Amino acid sequence: MVTDRGEPPASLIEELGFATRRAGEGLHGTAEVLPAMHVPGAPHLRTSILATWADILTGLLATQVMAPRVPVTLELDVQLYRPAPADGTVEGIAEVVKVGRSVFVAGVAFTSAGGRPLAIANASFMTAPDPGLTLPPALGVELPARKERLAEPFAERAGCRRRRCGVAVLPRSENGLNASGTVNGGLIALVAEEAVLSLAPGDSLCSLGLRYLQPARVGPVVATARLRDGLAQVELRDSGTDRLTGIATARTFSGAHRT
């Protein structure tokens, strides 16, 4: 299926408008912050979107080492210096940290308007266990921003909803899958963030760390968070298989300011 411009429909992640290009041995990424990317009730870019952009940049670097095998994210964390902006442009520079026999590690430095430091992120990858999963032979690392942009709030667009305080649910959808056919790691970050923010209305996250334990193949993904003194623990389960798919830790800005 293609659009009337001859392009395939944008995936949910592509609607975030992140463009990438080479920057020496690393990668440069940039995107415009839109209101649909804001934390509910607060004029700040979602930390889960920064996590998604970090996953894109570091994942593209990983493909250059692991191709034709598909890299899968093991760990991903984002740490913010200050609440993210409500508008303007966010840029990220990703660089390789380590290339090991089984694990690849890369880091990202994010800046906002005027080159002001915004956040740092790190991610590690391994190859997908299934050797039958391979990357397209012509896959490149320079990706233009798609014209289709996020037109409704990120969580609503993803179908992510808060079931009750401390619990958020994310359905599996065809436009939210990664190269291995499982739920995209950025959307896992979103449901974890939503579970935490349901316990801290109007706040945003100053840190988010994820450990991906099992791929989420069936869904919905259910995130259950506990929050104390601004520090949260999150359990992520694929309810379709009743398996623990990941764990996360997060800290809110209000909690960080109390410490």
- Expressed in percent and rounded to 5, the helix, strand and coil fractions of the chain are 20, 40, 40
CA 43, CA 120: separation in Å to the nearest integer?
A: 20
Contact call for residues 182 and 173 (beta carbons, < 8 A)? no
Whether residue 108 has pLDDT greater than 70: yes
pLDDT tens by residue, 129-139: 888 888 888 77
CATH (residue range 14-258): 2.40.160.210
Outline where 119-169 has alpha helix (H). 154-158
Across the range 155-183, mean pLDDT stands at 93
Across the range 189-197, mean pLDDT stands at 98
Residue 105: per-residue pLDDT:
98
What does each C-alpha distance from 54 to 95, 165, 239 come to in angstroms? 11, 28, 26
pLDDT tens by residue, 50-106: 999 999 999 999 999 999 998 999 999 999 999 999 999 999 999 999 999 899 999
Tokens of 80: 């913010």
What are the residue ranges spanned by the domains of the chain? 14-258
Cβ neighbour number for residue 224 with a 10 Å cutoff: 16
* Mean model confidence pLDDT for the chain: 92
Residue 258: per-residue pLDDT:
55
Between these two residues, 248 and 68, which has the higher pLDDT value? 248
> Does residue 129 have a cis bond before it (omega within 30 degrees)?
no
Whether residue 5 has pLDDT greater than 50: no
Q: What's the N-to-C CA distance of the chain in angstroms? A: 52
Cβ neighbour number for residue 239 with a 10 Å cutoff: 16
Give which of 225, 223, 226, 232 is closest to 255, Cα–Cα.
232
